[in-house]
Chain A
């Protein structure tokens, strides 16, 4: 029983130490982020149809996509405001998935072809 209490107390103290002041977005801020996401989606489609930026279309689209990804992860999934452990649980496998993807694409000689 005393061991259980000690573990609980330890967890309580760690949580208090790790939990930071939560500045969760308000409703209006969620709407603003949605507007930004919609604008970026529109920009992606516009870039797709613009012949002038064709040589740079891959990096442009990847950057826009990564921006949308980050906005949803940080603000809608609250990673920015939550405990850092959640970010680690998500970003670790995400980085691993990306590394495996690059390895597979390299193996099949796809990376240099502007994939």
Chain B
């Protein structure tokens, strides 16, 4: 069992390391650590300037909580489909793995579509990047998050294509696992943003 676990950490035919851990997986975790600091700074900035805008629109005039709740639910469910994709890959079921990866990408796209609609509606109500402090900090924070989701969707679709071309051998799921770590992190950041930006009262 330990041998199998070791192989799972290192990946098949991987160079052995001093820690016994795969370099790519370690790199992704360290990258996610740096992303914690990145989003932490953006969230801090939003909180510092919260309710310090001199002119509207203000959050209470702008947010549609039920709408954003549905959006949040969609992204949460995409985390489920992502982990199901990994589980399917580990069971050597490439077809199901591709199905769950595609579903994850689709849910991510739905979330992005929801964000685009929401941003458009905010702009139509007079909120923009340069309108006030709320607009600046909100759009920068959620915009960067949206950019991360977009990159995630591209990664997922490229994994599906790679699998269709036979680039991912059955049972070799390290790439899926690493992509999954990125995707779950993007979801986790939204969990924080939804609470801190949308739900915390003014």
Main SS at interface, chain A:
helix
Bound-state Cα–Cα, A56 to B188, Å: 23
Interface residues of B in 3-24 (CB under 8 A from A): 3, 5-6, 8-10, 16-21
Name, among A8, A20, A64, A68, the residue most crowded by chain B CB atoms within 10 Å (CB to CB): A68
Q: How many residues of B contact A (CB 8 A)?
A: 60
B30 with A65: CB separation less than 8 A = no
Bound-state Cα–Cα, A85 to B22, Å: 12
A97 with B36: CB separation less than 8 A = yes
Indicate whether B40 reaches chain A with its CB closer than 8 angstroms: yes
Q: Which residues of B come within 8 Å of A, CB atoms?
A: 1-3, 5-6, 8-10, 16-21, 25-26, 29-30, 32-34, 36-37, 39-41, 43-45, 47-48, 50, 65-66, 69, 72-73, 76-77, 79-80, 82-84, 87, 177, 180-181, 184-185, 187-188, 191-192, 194-196, 199-201
Closest to A65 in B: B195
Bound-state Cα–Cα, A115 to B43, Å: 12
Chain A positions within 8 Å of B39 at CB level: 97
A69 with B47: CB separation less than 8 A = no
**B79: contacting residue among A8, A12, A47, A76, CB under 8 A:** A76
Closest to A67 in B: B191
**A12: contacting residue among B5, B16, B188, B195, CB under 8 A:** B16
- The A-B contact count (CB < 8 A) is 165
**A48: contacting residue among B3, B20, B199, CB under 8 A:** B199
In the complex, what's the smallest C-beta–C-beta distance from A90 to chain B, in angstroms? Answer: 6
B73 with A41: CB separation less than 8 A = yes
Q: Fill in one digit per residue for A32-76: 1 if any B CB lies within 8 Å of its CB, else 0.
A: 011001100110110110000010011001101100110011011
In the complex, what's the smallest C-beta–C-beta distance from B182 to chain A, in angstroms? Answer: 10
Bound-state Cα–Cα, A108 to B49, Å: 9
Bound-state Cα–Cα, A97 to B80, Å: 26
Bound-state Cα–Cα, A90 to B189, Å: 13
B201 with A14: CB separation less than 8 A = no
Closest to A34 in B: B80
Q: Fill in one digit per residue for A78-106: 1 if any B CB lies within 8 Å of its CB, else 0.
A: 10001101100110111011101100110
Given contacts A48-B199, A94-B36, A115-B50, contact A10 B18 (CB under 8 A): yes
In the complex, what's the smallest C-beta–C-beta distance from B52 to chain A, in angstroms? Answer: 9
Chain A positions within 8 Å of B34 at CB level: 93
In the complex, what's the smallest C-beta–C-beta distance from B27 to chain A, in angstroms? Answer: 10
